[in-house]
């Protein structure tokens, strides 16, 4: 069954290109497109998308504001931000607000489908520039303690770099199922249910 994709992009040509690219693959179906996200809550409840492609700068409501609104009532849906500049503070703000990752508009033609596949398998696509900002934010002191083991803390940092379970297994040399077990423990300690929630909470609470 194809994954359901909802697109918010105010550039008409790019919005059409995104839709056409996804239509070339039988992995995805575009349930709707819009040039603003003013009705995002109603859209999600009616269309039940699996993934949202969200422009950061849109009229009426920014993509960052939309992500914050979405996370109030839906913690699990994947939201990939679309942006022109990779080192923009707005991208970092979007990740902190609960975005699953981001995609540079100039790379859409070759990286759109891989980016969607990545979030669907537990990854969080982001560049080394933004990943470094995420880690830097995490390394600041926090009042909350979750009693992570050293290994759990290392794996949480790798999650925040946008790595999937498979990538973390390759990086650490541990078995895939071992990584799955560690991440399950991390989720339980953070009281979250997805990589997106874990990354968002780690950033917002400046966890080590």
Q: Hey, where are the domains in the chain?
A: 3-120, 132-204
pLDDT in tens, the chain (208 residues): 899 999 999 999 999 999 999 999 999 999 999 999 999 999 999 999 999 999 999 989 999 999 999 999 998 899 999 998 776 778 888 888 889 989 989 989 999 999 999 999 888 888 777 777 776 766 554 545 788 888 998 999 999 888 889 999 999 999 999 999 999 999 988 988 888 888 888 887 777 4
Q: Where are the alpha helices (DSSP H) in 63-146?
A: 63-73, 89-97, 108-120, 128-138
For the 3-120 domain, the top CATH level (class) is alpha beta
Cβ contact 194:98 at 8 Å:
no
Question: Alpha carbon of 193 to those of 74, 144, 197, 200, 205: distances in Å?
Answer: 11, 19, 7, 12, 17
Confirm or reject CATH 1.10.10.10 for domain 132-204, answering yes or no: yes
pTM: 0.70
The three-class DSSP label of residue 58 is coil
Bridge partners of 4, per DSSP, are 29
Torsion of CA 39, 94, 155, 194, to 10 degrees: -10
Cβ contact 94:102 at 8 Å:
yes
Nearest CA-CA partner of 27 in 125, 112, 126? 112
Spatial CB neighbours of 50, under 8 Å, sequence gap ≥ 6: 3, 4, 5, 77, 78, 120
What would the pLDDT profile of 129-183 be if each residue is shown by its tens digit?
A: 777 777 676 655 454 578 888 899 899 999 988 888 999 999 999 999 999 999 9
pLDDT at 143: 46
Spatial CB neighbours of 132, under 8 Å, sequence gap ≥ 6: none
């Amino acid at each position: 069954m194809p994954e359901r994709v909802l697109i918010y992009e105010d550039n008409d040509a790019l919005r059409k290109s995104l839709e056409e690219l996804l239509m070339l693959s039988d992995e995805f179906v575009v349930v709707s497109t819009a040039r603003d996200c003013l009705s995002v809550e109603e859209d999600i409840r009616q269309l039940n998308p699996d993934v949202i492609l969200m422009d950061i700068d849109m009229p009426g409501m920014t993509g960052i504001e939309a992500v914050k609104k979405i996370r109030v009532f839906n913690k699990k849906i994947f939201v990939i931000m679309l942006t022109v500049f990779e080192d923009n503070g707005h991208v970092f703000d979007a990740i902190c607000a609960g975005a699953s990752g981001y995609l540079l508009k100039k790379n859409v033609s070759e990286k759109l489908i891989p980016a969607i596949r990545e979030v669907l398998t537990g990854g969080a696509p982001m560049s080394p520039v933004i990943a470094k900002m995420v880690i830097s934010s995490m390394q600041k002191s926090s009042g909350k303690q979750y009693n992570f083991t050293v290994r759990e803390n290392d794996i949480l940092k790798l999650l925040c770099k946008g790595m999937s379970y498979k990538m973390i297994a390759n990086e650490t040399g541990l078995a895939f199922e071992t990584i799955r077990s560690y991440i399950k423990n991390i989720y339980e300690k953070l009281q979250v249910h997805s990589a997106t929630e874990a990354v968002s909470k780690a950033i917002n609470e400046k966890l080590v």
